[in-house]
Amino acid sequence: MEKRNFLITTRPAEKNRERANASCFEIKNVPLTRIVGNANPRTLRDQIEKYSPDFVVLTSSIGSEIFLKAAIPGSFRIMCIGKRTAEPFLRSGLEVLVPIEQNSSGLIELISLQSRKESRIALCRSKQHNTILDEYLASEGHNYRCFDLYEIEELHSTDLEEMLFKKECKGLILTSSMEAVSLAHLLGNDIHSKEFRGKTIFCIGKPTYETATRQGFDCEILNNEGDVEAIIEEISEKHCNSGEWI
């Protein structure tokens, strides 16, 4: 049987529910982090209800599911970074606002169009979230508050290095800053090896790209942040359609 080219994703197993592949490569997931739920539904409900937000902003499908389980009452509008993040709400028959550009920049634009300075905005994310949204809201004088729905813990994978240095492995997709740091810890000096430099490292979003660069990785930044299928399509257009990986 002919071996196929593949890319490695390092997403938490809890997030890796999609089985997207491309015409010229497969996706193999080897988690570098795991999700630990730390939000008591009743406490979360009481805190958000007390804040009484006008808008609730979510950036992951895991966060959306945790938020829904808390059954938080209110007349707030929901904003999600992408279609995948919005799916739990849509399945429940709720209306969701999703930016045209499904990344942090698109989400900022959506917030700027929909909200006013006096609007109360609840940012519901992981404890290890990036700070792009916070920095924008603070700079514009918005009333916002962060609610941590879960934590992300580092894992020590024994399989990743072996898979990464296989001939069929074309590279790796980093989906968060913490994954970039974890990969740097795992590889150590191998980051500078000829074998590793021959792989393509893709980073989802500016925060992940900047963290990965600080860790010593040469990265290609991906524009899409909220939809795995769109991410695979973005990579395919460049590397499959050109014939580079065929």
Average pLDDT per block of 10 residues along the chain, 246 residues long: 80 71 85 84 92 96 92 94 92 94 91 94 91 93 94 84 90 90 90 88 88 92 72 83 67
Do 137 and 171 sit in the same domain of this protein?
Answer: no
Q: In this structure, are 134 and 170 located in the same domain?
A: no
The amino acid at 225: E
Of 117, 152, 187, which one is at a domain's C-terminal end? 152
Task: Answer yes or no: is 72 within a domain.
Answer: yes
Residues 50 and 128 in one domain: yes
Looking at residue 1, its pLDDT comes to 46
Q: What are phi and psi of 19, to 5 degrees?
A: -120, 55
The answer to whether residue 246 is domain-embedded is: no
Looking at the structure of the chain, the number of domains it has is: 2
Phi, then psi, of 186 in degrees rounded to 5: -70, -45
Domain that includes residue 96, residue range: 36-152
Q: What is the pLDDT of residues 27-68, one digit of tens each?
A: 899 999 888 877 688 999 999 999 999 999 999 888 999 999
What pLDDT is recorded for position 113?
A: 95
Together in a domain, 25 and 54: no
245 part of a folded domain = no
Instruction: Mark whether 147 and 163 lie in a shared domain.
Output: no
Per-residue confidence (pLDDT) for residue 16, from 0 to 100: 65
Domain end residue (candidates: 152, 183, 198): 152
Q: For the domain that residue 102 is a member of, what is the CATH number?
A: 3.40.50.10090
Q: Which of 152, 197, 198 is nearest to 179 (CA)?
A: 152
- Residue 215 CA: distances (Å) to CA of 10, 24, 163, 176: 16, 29, 21, 13
Beta bridge partners of 124: 58, 147
What pLDDT does 89 receive?
A: 96
Nearest Cα residue to 71 out of 100, 97, 54, 94 = 94
Task: Evaluate whether residue 181 is within a structural domain.
Answer: yes
Closest of 116, 118, 144, 120 to residue 131, by C-alpha: 144
Q: Examine the domain organization and report whether 44 and 123 are in the same domain.
A: yes
Q: Tell me: do 184 and 195 sit in the same domain.
A: yes
Which of 152, 182, 198 represents a domain boundary (last residue)?
152
Does residue 222 form part of some domain?
yes
Q: Is residue 15 located within the same domain as residue 84?
A: no
Distance separating alpha carbons of residues 173 and 20, to the nearest angstrom: 13
